[in-house]
Amino acid sequence: MTKPRAVFLDALSLGPVDLAPLERHAELICWPSTPPQLRLICAASTGTDQIDGQACSELGIAVRNAGRYSTASVVQVTWALILELVCDLRNRRRQVLEGDWQRSPVFSLVEPEFDELAGRTLTVLGAGTIGRGVAAVASAFGMDVRLITSRSGAGELEAALRQADVLSLHAPLTPATWGLINAERLSWLKPSAVLVNLGRGGLIELPALVKALQRGALAGAALDVLDKEPPGAELEALKEVPNLILTPHIGWASRQARQRLVAALPAELQSHIEE
């Protein structure tokens, strides 16, 4: 079996010790001290919430990310989930698999009924390239679009949520947006509304969302992101929540997007070198 790789920082602080016990279990790289020459952390992602920005700033370490590589992929998966919710495709498949269609006295099963998106309102939280991309597709469906950000005024945010038939979350996770969609703001949504989150799990207070779905205060939700990824045992309870679709953080991950990500990193590195 291939040994895992391990980096031992500040090994000098241990003095002259035998590191053989570690080396038996891992391919070990030792630094006498934390490398002072670290000048750049380049996140192979759109978000940088996994990096302590304040600590990096204090240590003079630049932080960059590979933005915009995933826009087409996230927009596509966002709409796949919206349509899954609105058209209730899971039940349609069940009707076929369980023989309901074969037993039908007519050619089509029209129940449970579904509504068209045309004339409905999409509220997008997050006005970056992904949010604007989601909004552009909504226009093709004939939807009205409300585009807001976490910096929108309280009154504007409330009005946009109350008008939403579909709420799509694409804001970055910051101290200001953590738990932004809480119990109070969920209560502003129509009982017929659906919510999708392809931003960050922390944007939503998950227990409040679960309660809203369980009591029918919200028609459905689709989450591609959770607070903890991969999730642990807590996922089991979520599997039983009515009208909740969970996908394993796939929005960013089309084949083409992953290749664009790799291609973008050298440019970020070169740009930092040239500064």
Percentages of the chain per state (helix, strand, coil), in multiples of 5: 40, 15, 45
| CA separation for the pair 81, 137 (Å, rounded) | 13
Buried b (16+ CB within 10 A) or exposed e, 84-94: bbbebeeeeee
Look at residue 257 and give its three-state secondary structure.
helix
> What pLDDT is attached to residue 9?
66
**What is the pairing mode between strands 194-197 and 220-223?**
parallel
Radius of gyration of the chain (CA): 23
Contact 120, 164 (CB under 8 A): no
> What pLDDT is attached to residue 159?
98
Query: Mean pLDDT for each consecutive 10-residue tract of the chain (275 residues)?
Result: 73 74 80 74 81 85 86 98 96 96 97 96 96 97 96 96 98 93 98 98 98 98 96 96 96 92 83 79
* Inter-CA distances, 229 with 32, 129, 170, 200, 240, Å: 32, 24, 18, 11, 19
Contact 203, 169 (CB under 8 A): yes
SS3 sequence of 110-139: CCCCCCCCCCCEEEEECCCHHHHHHHHHHH
Q: Which amino acid is at 67?
A: G
Phi, psi of 160 (to 5 degrees): -65, -35
> What pLDDT is attached to residue 150?
87
Q: Which two tokens stand for residue 182?
A: 């809480």
Q: Which residues touch 114 (CB under 8 Å, ≥6 apart)?
A: 86, 87, 88
Kind plus residue range of the DSSP H or E element containing 244: strand 244-246
Q: Which two tokens stand for residue 59?
A: 């240590």
| CA separation for the pair 129, 12 (Å, rounded) | 46
User: What pTM value is reported for the model?
Assistant: 0.84
Please state which of the four CATH numbers 3.40.50.1980, 3.40.50.150, 3.40.50.720, 3.90.170.10 is assigned to the domain occupying 71-246: 3.40.50.720
Q: Which residues are tagged catalytic?
A: 200, 229, 249
